[in-house]
């Protein structure tokens, strides 16, 4: 419940405050979002399966986001940024889909 | 808070039974702990296991500690994390929406730049024309002082007219050529009804042969070295793309020109194209036409290898 309120409040905050993203951070924003979504879906699934743990969620959220951005940064330095971004998106996308499928099974039994 | 723990997940926990290759006690029959457990993304995926084994580990740890509820502080941190997710989402959305007009603005700026540069070029070429007129006037005045100078001036005028280096005006014959209307007259493919560079070349050569003193296409003066060619779907005249309808103006006595042109090979070919493919083709007299000077092109001479300049 708190979590949902936090999410909605965050969206509203972002929409109203319009924080401008510094230019050097812009390439990492989409990847960070995908990583954050992955952590979020993982948390929702764990909650539905009854094994949710706050500390694990926070650590995985922060860790995934930072590591995803770091990988892209490293790729940019090496000249393979777009390929590495694709790799990160594919892996996280697979995880998001599998978690979403599990959530769907828990919620709708289908 | 604690629901039924998925037994299978516990294998990944710290207190999971060790021993590769042996069936796990308590697990569903036929399940094995893999030797490749570290490369577990795909196998986890196919088995439908929780993608993040940390949750299972934490659950096992907590059950061992006796189901203590999480402290309030941690819950606040969770809410804070999700707040961050929300902010990220909103910012990214706003960023994308802000990015669209930026792209449109950049394109508009490029288009503006093209227009302004074209205007600049036009102004410069007008200035060039003016200066060239001025130069030739001064030259004529200087040459008019002596008989030899006057003779040289006459020779120069003839040469310049032949080289299309000075504007020309007079009565003219105007030949109009255009692509066939889209539904081809004979139902031919769209490409057949187009005016090709060859058609224009033959027409221009036919007009020269009929005695034209100066020829221009769509107001662009042709020189003896002008090239008419096709690039993609555009006809390039001296590397400048022209679009139909093509108006080929030939200066000269209209009667003589018409007499020389009618029935020539070029006329016959274009008439055949008109009848067969629906190309639009017409010839008209014009009392007084004016053609600008062409940009002078320095002639380049070939010389035998080894010979000095």
- Kindly report, residue by residue over A24-37, the tens digit of the pLDDT: 777 788 888 888 88
The half-sphere exposure of B304 on its side-chain side, counting CA atoms within 13 A, is 2
Confidence class for position B33, pLDDT limits 50, 70, 90: low
pLDDT at site B169: 85
What DSSP character marks residue B23? B
- For chains A and B, what is the number of CB pairs under 8 angstroms? 152
Q: Is B39 on the interface with A (CB under 8 A)?
A: no
Q: Is A4 within a domain? A: no
Inspect the interface and report whether the beta carbons of A6 and B78 lie closer than 8 Å. Answer: yes
3-state secondary structure of A9: helix
Q: What is the mean pLDDT of chain B?
A: 77
For residue B277, give the nearest of B198, B219, B191 by alpha carbon.
B191
Q: What is the ipTM of this complex?
A: 0.77
Inspect the interface and report whether the beta carbons of A7 and B87 lie closer than 8 Å. Answer: no
Q: Any idea how long chain B is? A: 309
% of chain B beyond a pLDDT of 70: 77
Rounded Cα distance between A58 and B82, Å, is 9
Inspect the interface and report whether the beta carbons of A14 and B88 lie closer than 8 Å. Answer: yes
- Residue-wise pLDDT tens digits, B268-289: 998 888 888 888 888 888 888 8
Six-digit token pair at A26? 């812009």
Q: Is A36 within a domain? A: yes
Among B55, B78, B89, beta carbon nearest to A58:
B78
What DSSP character marks residue A80? -
pLDDT at site B308: 64
Q: Is A80 within a domain? A: yes
Q: Is A10 within a domain? A: no
- Which one of A54, A90, A93 makes the best mutation probe of the B interface by having the most chain B beta carbons within 10 Å? A54
pLDDT surpassing 70 at residue B20: no
**In degrees to the nearest 10, what's the CA dihedral of B214, B217, B221, B223?**
-70
Q: Across chain B, which distance is largest between two alpha carbons, in Å?
A: 123
Rounded Cα distance between B8 and B46, Å, is 14
Count of structural domains, chain A: 1
Q: Is A6 within a domain? A: no
Inspect the interface and report whether the beta carbons of B54 and A56 lie closer than 8 Å. Answer: yes
Measure in Å the smallest separation between the Cα of A100 and chain B Cα atoms. 11
Q: Which domain holds residue A96?
A: 27-108
Q: Is A52 within a domain? A: yes
- What are the per-10-residue average pLDDT scores of chain A (110 residues)? 77 78 78 87 85 83 86 87 86 87 83
Confidence class for position B300, pLDDT limits 50, 70, 90: confident
pLDDT at site B8: 45
């Amino acid at each position: 419940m708190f979590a949902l309120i936090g999410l909605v409040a965050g969206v509203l905050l972002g929409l109203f405050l319009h924080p401008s993203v510094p230019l050097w951070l812009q390439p990492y924003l989409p990847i960070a979002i995908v990583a954050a979504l992955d952590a979020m879906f993982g948390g929702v699934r764990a909650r539905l399966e009854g094994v949710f743990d706050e500390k694990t969620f926070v650590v995985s959220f922060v860790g995934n986001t930072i590591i995803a951005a770091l990988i892209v940064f490293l790729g940019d330095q090496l000249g393979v940024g777009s390929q590495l971004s694709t790799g990160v998106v594919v892996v996280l996308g697979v995880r998001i889909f599998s978690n979403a499928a599990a959530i769907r099974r828990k919620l709708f039994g289908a | 808070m604690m629901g039924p723990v998925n037994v299978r997940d516990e294998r990944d926990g710290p207190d999971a039974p060790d021993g590769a290759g042996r069936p796990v006690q308590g697990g569903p029959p036929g399940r094995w702990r893999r030797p490749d457990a570290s490369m577990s993304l795909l196998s986890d995926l196919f088995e439908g296991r929780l993608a993040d084994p940390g949750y299972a580990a934490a659950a096992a740890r907590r059950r061992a500690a006796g189901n203590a509820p999480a402290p309030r502080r941690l819950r606040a941190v969770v809410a804070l994390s999700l707040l961050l997710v929300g902010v990220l989402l909103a910012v990214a959305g706003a960023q994308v929406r802000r990015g669209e007009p930026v792209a449109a603005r950049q394109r508009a700026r490029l288009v503006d730049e093209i227009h302004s540069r074209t205007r600049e070029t036009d102004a410069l070429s007008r200035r060039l024309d003016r200066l060239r007129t001025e130069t030739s006037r001064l030259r004529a005045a200087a040459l008019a002082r002596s008989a030899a100078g006057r003779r040289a001036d006459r020779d120069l005028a003839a040469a310049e007219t032949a080289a299309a280096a000075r504007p020309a005006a007079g009565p003219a014959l105007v030949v109009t050529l255009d692509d066939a209307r889209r539904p081809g007259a004979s139902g031919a493919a769209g490409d057949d009804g187009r005016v090709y560079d060859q058609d224009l070349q033959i027409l221009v050569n036919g007009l020269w042969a009929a005695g034209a003193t100066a020829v221009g296409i769509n107001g662009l003066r042709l020189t003896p070295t002008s090239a008419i060619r096709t690039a993609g779907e555009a006809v390039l005249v001296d590397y400048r793309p022209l679009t139909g309808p093509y108006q080929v103006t030939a200066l000269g006595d209209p009667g003589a020109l018409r007499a020389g042109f009618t029935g020539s090979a070029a006329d016959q070919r274009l008439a055949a194209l008109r009848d067969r493919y629906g190309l639009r083709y017409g010839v008209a007299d014009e009392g007084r036409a004016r053609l600008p000077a062409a940009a002078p092109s320095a002639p380049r001479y070939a010389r035998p290898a080894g010979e000095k300049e």
